[in-house]
Amino acid sequence: MAFDYDMDFDSIDFREQPELYRVGRGEQGVLMVEPYKSEILPHWRFKTPDIAKDSSEKIYAMYLDYKKAGDFVGMDMSRKFLQMGYTRARRYANYKGGRKYGSYAKLGRNGYVSVKRNGDHV
């Protein structure tokens, strides 16, 4: 079932009302579904290989705890964070500083302009 972005995420506790949860595609809703976001997010780190390994082990342990408790929403949210962490870790591995789309150079009072990795202006 498609993820419903029109739900009142500020007032829904998906542990209390798991029937309202929609899986969606990929990582949809990963930063919206409480209380799981608040439980998992503090452990979601990926900047270095060691940090990513520790993070993934902790989140996987949370996945197993949710599984043991029969908490499908917690399991799916853990999966989404692991998937998202893998994606971000790959970005850090492939792009120095994790910046996939280049950097920005300040041009005086005119603001910012996008700059390609090789320094050429876009």
Identify which has the larger pLDDT, 71 or 111.
71
Identify which has the larger pLDDT, 56 or 86.
56
Please tell me the predicted confidence (pLDDT) of residue 97.
Answer: 62
pLDDT digit string, tens, across residues 46-55: 777 888 889 9
Sign of CA dihedral 103, 109, 110, 111: positive
Identify which has the larger pLDDT, 2 or 102.
2
pLDDT digit string, tens, across residues 101-119: 555 444 444 444 444 445 4
The answer for residues whose C-beta is within 8 angstroms of residue 110's C-beta and 6 or more apart is: none
